[in-house]
C-alpha cells in the first residue's frame, strides 16, 4: 500500500521597512552588534511599543496578493517563553485574531497548476541573535535584530511532495519580491521556512502524527529534508512503530533530520492579548488604496507572457520568476520582436553568464538593447547563429556593441554564393575518397562536408547556402 505525505509550511519573511516594528531603531543588516537598539527593543521596564504603520501596509500588500480576507479588527498577543535572545521574556505576535486569513496561491509542480491554501498571515517581531564562542563556554547576544518586523505566512496542509513544497516557496518568495516588501534572502535569514510533515496510507482520511522541521536555509535544504523525513516516517510505520510528535533539525552535511525537542503546543506559550497595544482597526478605504498600488503579480504576468508572446509555459515560468528578469525580457522584445528567440537567448546565454559570474540580472554585462542588436544581426544574415555565440562572449568580456565586434574581427557572414562555391569545390577536391563513398550511398557523409566547408571559412559561411551548393555539386 502506498503512502501519502501531508506537508504544511510556515514562512517567516522579514519586511523591508527602514525601522523596527515598535520603535524607530534602524533595521539595517550588518551593523556592529547592539548599535541599533533602544529601551523599547531591549525590553526595559516602563517602555511602550508604538506600531510602525508601514509594517501594517506591507502586510496588507501581501495579504491582498495572496487572496486573503483582511480582518477589519485584529490584535497583537504576547507569546511567552524564555530565551536569552528575547529580552522581554515574550514575543509580540498575533494569535487568535491575525490580520489576514483564508487566502491561496497557485503553484506549478510536475507540469500542473495547483492551488495551495494560505491559513493565515500575521505580524510579529523578530528575536535577537546568539553567537556562541567556539573556544570558550560562553555566548554573546546581539539585539540589533530584536524588533525587526516579520510576517508569518502559514499554509494549509495542501502540499504533498517535496517538489511542491519547493514550488510553493519559490512562488511565495517571487510574490514578496514583486511587492518589494522582502528581499527573500534565505542565506541572510530574511526568508525562513519551517515545515510540518506527516505521512498516512493513501486513501486514509485522518492525518498521521507530524513532526516539525527546522534549520533549512535554502530551497534545496527544504526539499532534501522533507524527502528524508518522509522516508524516515514511512520506515517507522512500516516497522509497526509510532512517529513521535517533535521538532527535528535538518543536518545538511549528514543529510538527515535529528530530534531537537518535543514539539510545544500553543498552550505552552500562555498567549494573551498585549495590553500595551490597541486593537488594529483597518479602514476599508486604505485597503483599496493599497490594492491600487499592487504590481502585476507573477501568476498574472506568466499568463500574459503565454498569451501575448506565445511562449511555452516553462519559458514564461522562468522569465517571470523575478520582476527584473521579466523586465529585461520585455525590453529586449520591444527592440526585437521575436519573443521565442529572445526567450531562448535570455534563458540560455544570459542566465548562464549571470550564473558563471555570480551576478543578478540588474548587473547583466549585456543590456537588453544590445542583445536585441545582436539578434538583429543574425536575423538580417550579417552573422550566423554560430558566430553570434562568439560575438556574445566578446560582448560580455569587452562590453563593446555587437556591430563593432563583427567589424573589428571580420566576422561578417559570407553569403556570396560564388565565393562559397569556390570553397566547396576545394573541399570536395581534397576529399576524393569521401566523395566516392558518398556517391556509393554513404549519404551520412553530407554533414562531414558541411563541417569541412565551415572549418575552411572559419564558421563565416552562410550554412543554408553551403547546404544548397554542396547538394548541387554532389548530385552532379
Ligand atoms: Zn529600538
For ligand 1, the distance from its centroid to the CA atom of residue 28, given in whole angstroms, is 12
- Written as nine digits, the cell of 148 is 525587526
C-alpha pair distances (Å), 253 with each of 82, 169, 188, 221, 412: 30, 22, 19, 10, 52
Closest Cα partner for 47 from 147, 174, 183, 152?
147
pLDDT at residue number 459 = 81
For ligand 1, the distance from its centroid to the CA atom of residue 128, given in whole angstroms, is 12
Residue 56 pLDDT exceeds 90? yes
Question: pLDDT grade, residue 386 (50/70/90)?
Answer: confident
Mean pLDDT of the chain: 93
Class in CATH terms, 417-475: mainly alpha
For ligand 1, the distance from its centroid to the CA atom of residue 91, given in whole angstroms, is 14
Which residues have CB atoms below 5 A from the ion given as ligand 1? 23, 25, 38, 40-41
Q: Where, residue-wise, is CATH 1.10.10.410 in the chain?
A: 417-475
Least confident range of 51-55, 147-151, 204-208? 204-208
Contact 343, 319 (CB under 8 A): yes
Please name the helix (run of DSSP H) or strand (run of DSSP E) that holds residue 226, with its range, or none. helix 219-238
pLDDT at residue number 412 = 83
pLDDT at residue number 1 = 62
- Rounded average pLDDT over 173-199: 94
pLDDT at residue number 202 = 86
For ligand 1, the distance from its centroid to the CA atom of residue 133, given in whole angstroms, is 26
- Rounded average pLDDT over 152-181: 97
Contact 273, 77 (CB under 8 A): yes
For ligand 1, the distance from its centroid to the CA atom of residue 23, given in whole angstroms, is 5
For ligand 1, the distance from its centroid to the CA atom of residue 74, given in whole angstroms, is 24
10 class by beta-carbon count within 10 Å (0-12 exposed, 13-18 middle, 19+ buried):
middle
CA distance 466 to 424: 8
C-alpha pair distances (Å), 137 with each of 87, 132, 134, 140, 433: 21, 8, 8, 11, 81
pLDDT at residue number 270 = 93
Closest Cα partner for 323 from 345, 353, 302?
302
CA distance 227 to 217: 16
For ligand 1, the distance from its centroid to the CA atom of residue 19, given in whole angstroms, is 9
Residue 476 pLDDT exceeds 80? no
For ligand 1, the distance from its centroid to the CA atom of residue 126, given in whole angstroms, is 12
Q: In this prediction, what percent of the chain has a pLDDT beyond 90?
A: 78
127 class by beta-carbon count within 10 Å (0-12 exposed, 13-18 middle, 19+ buried):
buried
For ligand 1, the distance from its centroid to the CA atom of residue 123, given in whole angstroms, is 17
User: In this structure, what are the phi and psi dihedrals at residue 371, rounded to the nearest 5 degrees?
Assistant: -60, -40
Q: Is the model's pTM score more than 0.75? A: yes
Amino acid at each position: 500500500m502506498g503512502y501519502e505525505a501531508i506537508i504544511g509550511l510556515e514562512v517567516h519573511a522579514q519586511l523591508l521597512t527602514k525601522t523596527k516594528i515598535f520603535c524607530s531603531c534602524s533595521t539595517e543588516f550588518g551593523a556592529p552588534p547592539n548599535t541599533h537598539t533602544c529601551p523599547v527593543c531591549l525590553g526595559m521596564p516602563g517602555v511602550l511599543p508604538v506600531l510602525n504603520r508601514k509594517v501594517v501596509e506591507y502586510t496588507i500588500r501581501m495579504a491582498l496578493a495572496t487572496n486573503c480576507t483582511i480582518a477589519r479588527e485584529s490584535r497583537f498577543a504576547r507569546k511567552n517563553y524564555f530565551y536569552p535572545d528575547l529580552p522581554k521574556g515574550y514575543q509580540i505576535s498575533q494569535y487568535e485574531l491575525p490580520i489576514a486569513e483564508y487566502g491561496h496561491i497557485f503553484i506549478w509542480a510536475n507540469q500542473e497548476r495547483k492551488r495551495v491554501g494560505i491559513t493565515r498571515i500575521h505580524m510579529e517581531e523578530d528575536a535577537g541573535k546568539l553567537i556562541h564562542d567556539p573556544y570558550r563556554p560562553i555566548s554573546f547576544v546581539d539585539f540589533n535584530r530584536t524588533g525587526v518586523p516579520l510576517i508569518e505566512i502559514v499554509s494549509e496542509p495542501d502540499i504533498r511532495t517535496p517538489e511542491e513544497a519547493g514550488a510553493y516557496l519559490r512562488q511565495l518568495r517571487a510574490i514578496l519580491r514583486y511587492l518589494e516588501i522582502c528581499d527573500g534572502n534565505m542565506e541572510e535569514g530574511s526568508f525562513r521556512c519551517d515545515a510540518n510533515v506527516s505521512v498516512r496510507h493513501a486513501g486514509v482520511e485522518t492525518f498521521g502524527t507530524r513532526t516539525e522541521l527546522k534549520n533549512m536555509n535554502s530551497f534545496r535544504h527544504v526539499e532534501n529534508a522533507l524527502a528524508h523525513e518522509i522516508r524516515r516516517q514511512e520506515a517507522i510505520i512500516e516497522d509497526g512503530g509510532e512517529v513521535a510528535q517533535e521538532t527535528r533539525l535538518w543536518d545538511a552535511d549528514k543529510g538527515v533530520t535529528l530530534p531537537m525537542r518535543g514539539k510545544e503546543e500553543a498552550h505552552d506559550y500562555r498567549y494573551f492579548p498585549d495590553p500595551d497595544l490597541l486593537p488594529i482597526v483597518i479602514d476599508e478605504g486604505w485597503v483599496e488604496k493599497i490594492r491600487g498600488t499592487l504590481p502585476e503579480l507573477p501568476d498574472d504576468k506568466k499568463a500574459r507572457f503565454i498569451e501575448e508572446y506565445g511562449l511555452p509555459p516553462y519559458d514564461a515560468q522562468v522569465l517571470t520568476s523575478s520582476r527584473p528578469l521579466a523586465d529585461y525580457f520585455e525590453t529586449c522584445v520591444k527592440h526585437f520582436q521575436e519573443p521565442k528567440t529572445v526567450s531562448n537567448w535570455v534563458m540560455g546565454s544570459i542566465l548562464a553568464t549571470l550564473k558563471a559570474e555570480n551576478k543578478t540580472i540588474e548587473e547583466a554585462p549585456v543590456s537588453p538593447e544590445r542583445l536585441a542588436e545582436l539578434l538583429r544581426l543574425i536575423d538580417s544574415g550579417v552573422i550566423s547563429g554560430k558566430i553570434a555565440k562568439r560575438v556574445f562572449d566578446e560582448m560580455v568580456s569587452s562590453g563593446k556593441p555587437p556591430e563593432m565586434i563583427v567589424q573589428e574581427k571580420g566576422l561578417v557572414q559570407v553569403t556570396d554564393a560564388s565565393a562559397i562555391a569556390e570553397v566547396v569545390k576545394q573541399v570536395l577536391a581534397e576529399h576524393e575518397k569521401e566523395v566516392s563513398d558518398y556517391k556509393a550511398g554513404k549519404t551520412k557523409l553530407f554533414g562531414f562536408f558541411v563541417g569541412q566547408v565551415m572549418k575552411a571559412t572559419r564558421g563565416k559561411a552562410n550554412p543554408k547556402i553551403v547546404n544548397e551548393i554542396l547538394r548541387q555539386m554532389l548530385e552532379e
